[in-house]
């Protein structure tokens, strides 16, 4: 393929992924205020993120398979259309449940990531693939960093609905640009779509996350809670034999026999929990009043995260470039160790905004060093006719971990609350229950544990390297 068309496609895909990740996190600095406005718990508010991720997790392999069958560009554009409509609806949410519902519909747009990776894998040669994937993977951090910064100003000055209004306009613009400039990838398979399998998996995952959400408020072992976890286990148990019996399943379980595909999915699931815990940790801790947090404003919280974008612009492509020579294993092994260090620093080094920023930068570097190798390992390990569904499966599994992260973090915060008091006319008046220091320490400890497990899994990676052909430039 002409290098100009390939580069143009890469730029457009990167911009769209940056936009989706920007929209996903642009209201994160306002989550505590949204919680107060609608009068709900932190765990319920966390579904603003988790609803998007759950639907995105399930639709990713579906849309990946649809892309293999009907053409990746066509399905990619359909995903953007769903996404754009949902963003428009979210800005007019009259209550928290309407907002969560709109975010769930936005989850259809989450499929743009696996589809973008599949398109890039089709149009770039293997020796340049890691570099191109590094650019796309960097948007997973660049978009949220921009969203936290720009979104904080919009939310502070205009209110959180306007964050969605402005994103709606940008989504329409990117839909038009994508339709014009992304290359069309022909279909490669004509398999049917396993909608029943998708429904079974969604019930299993959703039941488990509702269990985590409600546990701190109603108790972990009440009849309703026990029924939720039983329901989740039943549907999860039914999903595996159901998929094995299907001729054309949602998830081709036989792909897990490929060593690197299995490692990439298991490491992605585990590390995904820790990755999204970071955003909720930082947001709540930064905005809570002292001594519970740093007492920063929405804008100050967003500004605190701005340097993350710059780091990602450098680290993402650089990791891809190094990986072209070293292979994925060294990077995938080192990444979780850096992530563990970052979360350890949040326990001992978070008394000022600068110290918290230092911690976040370390965590983010470790995160990118995990994401880039995982994406490349999946794309390289899979046969061409299974690449779309395989990347979708990997996105699903990583996203399940990501959707657990916010719910787990807020559940811990709801479990470790203490009263904040105000002295009024010589009387001590209880004002609100706020997460204690123990809550944030426990979140960090859980994240360290997740990264450690990811490190153990990474040791089983089968390394490989790309050789640059004579007379051909190395990835840049």
Of 424 and 337, the one with more pLDDT = 337
Q: How far apart are CA 66 and CA 296, in angstroms?
A: 45
Contact partners, residue 183, CB within 8 Å, separation at least 6: 1, 5, 6, 9, 73, 119, 123
Q: Name the DSSP class of 92.
A: T
Please, which pLDDT band fits residue 29 given cuts at 50, 70 and 90?
Answer: low
Q: According to the model, what pLDDT value does residue 475 have?
A: 36
Q: How far apart are CA 143 and CA 458, in angstroms?
A: 26
Q: According to the model, what pLDDT value does residue 175 have?
A: 92
Please, which pLDDT band fits residue 421 given cuts at 50, 70 and 90?
Answer: very low
Of 59 and 258, the one with more pLDDT = 258
Contact partners, residue 460, CB within 8 Å, separation at least 6: 259, 263
Q: How far apart are CA 208 and CA 361, in angstroms?
A: 31
Residue 469 has pLDDT above 50, yes or no: no
Of 375 and 94, the one with more pLDDT = 94
Q: Which residues pair with 429 in a beta bridge?
A: 422
Residue 437 has pLDDT above 80, yes or no: yes
Please, which pLDDT band fits residue 471 given cuts at 50, 70 and 90?
Answer: very low
Q: Are 13 and 119 in contact (CB under 8 A)?
A: yes
Q: According to the model, what pLDDT value does residue 457 have?
A: 94
Mean pLDDT to the nearest integer, 255-280: 87
Q: According to the model, what pLDDT value does residue 473 have?
A: 37
Q: According to the model, what pLDDT value does residue 430 have?
A: 46
Of 64 and 191, the one with more pLDDT = 64
Q: According to the model, what pLDDT value does residue 190 have?
A: 62
> What is the per-residue pLDDT across 93-146, written as a single tens digit (0 to 9) for each?
999 999 999 988 998 888 888 788 888 878 887 777 767 877 776 676 667 667
Residue 344 has pLDDT above 90, yes or no: yes
Phi, psi of 126 (to 5 degrees): -60, -35
Of 332 and 143, the one with more pLDDT = 332
Of 172 and 107, the one with more pLDDT = 172
What proportion of the chain, given as a percentage, has pLDDT over 90? 22
Of 378 and 28, the one with more pLDDT = 378
* CATH for 3-194+246-458 (1.10.357.10, 1.20.1250.20, 3.30.540.10, 3.10.620.30): 1.20.1250.20
Which token pair is 111? 């499929």
Instruction: Please provide the average confidence, as pLDDT, over all residues in the chain.
Output: 81
Mean pLDDT to the nearest integer, 405-423: 69
- Dihedral class, residue 71 (left if φ above 0, else alpha if ψ from -120 to 50, else beta): left
Mean pLDDT to the nearest integer, 196-220: 77
Mean pLDDT to the nearest integer, 333-341: 95
Mean pLDDT to the nearest integer, 408-424: 67
Residue 432 has pLDDT above 60, yes or no: no
Residue of 408, 447, 460, 464 whose CA lies nearest to 215: 408
User: Cα dihedral angle (184, 185, 188, 189), rounded to 10 degrees?
Assistant: -60
Residue 429 has pLDDT above 70, yes or no: no
Q: According to the model, what pLDDT value does residue 51 have?
A: 81
- Mean pLDDT comparison of 45-49, 161-165, 448-452, 468-472, highest-scoring range: 448-452
Least confident of 30-39, 339-348, 442-451: 30-39
Tally: H helices and E strands in the chain = 17, 2
> What is the per-residue pLDDT across 269-301, written as a single tens digit (0 to 9) for each?
888 888 878 877 887 888 888 888 888 887 787
Q: According to the model, what pLDDT value does residue 468 have?
A: 46
């Amino acid at each position: 393929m002409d290098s100009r068309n390939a580069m143009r496609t890469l730029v457009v895909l990167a911009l769209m992924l940056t936009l989706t990740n920007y929209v996903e996190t642009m209201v994160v600095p306002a989550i505590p205020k949204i919680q107060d406005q609608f009068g709900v718990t932190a765990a319920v508010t966390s579904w603003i993120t988790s609803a998007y991720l759950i639907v995105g997790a399930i639709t990713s392999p579906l849309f990946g398979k649809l892309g293999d069958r009907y053409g990746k560009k066509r399905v990619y554009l359909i995903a953007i259309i769903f996404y754009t409509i949902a963003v428009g609806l979210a800005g007019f949410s009259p209550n928290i449940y309407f907002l969560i519902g709109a975010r769930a519909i936005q989850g259809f747009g989450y499929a743009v990531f696996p589809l973008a990776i599949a398109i890039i894998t089709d149009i770039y040669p293997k020796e340049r693939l890691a570099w191109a994937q590094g650019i796309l993977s960097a948007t997973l951090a660049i978009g949220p960093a921009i969203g936290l910064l720009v979104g904080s100003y919009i939310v502070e000055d205009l209110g959180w609905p306007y964050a969605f209004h402005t994103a709606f306009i940008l989504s329409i613009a990117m839909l038009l640009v994508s339709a014009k400039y992304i290359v069309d990838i022909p279909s490669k398979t004509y398999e049917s779509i396993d909608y029943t399998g998708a429904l079974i998996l969604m019930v299993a995952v959703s039941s488990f996350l509702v269990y985590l959400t409600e546990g701190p408020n109603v108790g972990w072992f009440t009849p309703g809670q026990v029924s939720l976890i039983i329901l989740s286990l039943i549907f999860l148990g039914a999903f595996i034999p159901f998929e094995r019996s299907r001729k054309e399943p949602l998830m081709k379980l036989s792909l897990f026999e490929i060593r690197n595909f299995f490692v990439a999915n298991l490491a992605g699931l585990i590390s995904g929990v820790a990755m999204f815990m970071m955003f909720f940790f930082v947001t709540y801790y930064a905005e809570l009043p002292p001594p519970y947090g740093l007492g920063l404003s929405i804008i100050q919280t967003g500004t605190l995260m701005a340097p993350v974008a710059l780091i990602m612009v450098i680290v993402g492509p650089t990791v891809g470039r190094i990986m072209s020579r070293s292979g994925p294993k060294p990077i995938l092994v080192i990444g979780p160790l850096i992530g563990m260090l970052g979360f350890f620093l949040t326990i001992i080094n978070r008394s000022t905004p600068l110290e918290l920023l230092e911690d976040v930068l370390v965590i983010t570097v470790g995160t990118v060093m995990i994401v880039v190798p995982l994406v490349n390992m999946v794309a390289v390990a899979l046969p061409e006719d299974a690449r779309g569904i395989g990347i979708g499966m990997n996105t699903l599994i990583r996203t399940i971990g990501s959707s657990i992260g916010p719910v787990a973090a807020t559940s811990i915060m709801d479990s470790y609350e203490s009263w904040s008091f105000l002295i009024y006319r010589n009387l001590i008046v209880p004002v609100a229950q706020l997460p204690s220091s123990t809550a944030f320490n426990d979140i960090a400890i859980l994240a360290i544990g997740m990264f450690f497990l990811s490190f153990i899994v990474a040791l089983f990676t089968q390394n490989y390297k790309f050789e640059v052909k004579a007379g051909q430039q190395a990835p840049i």
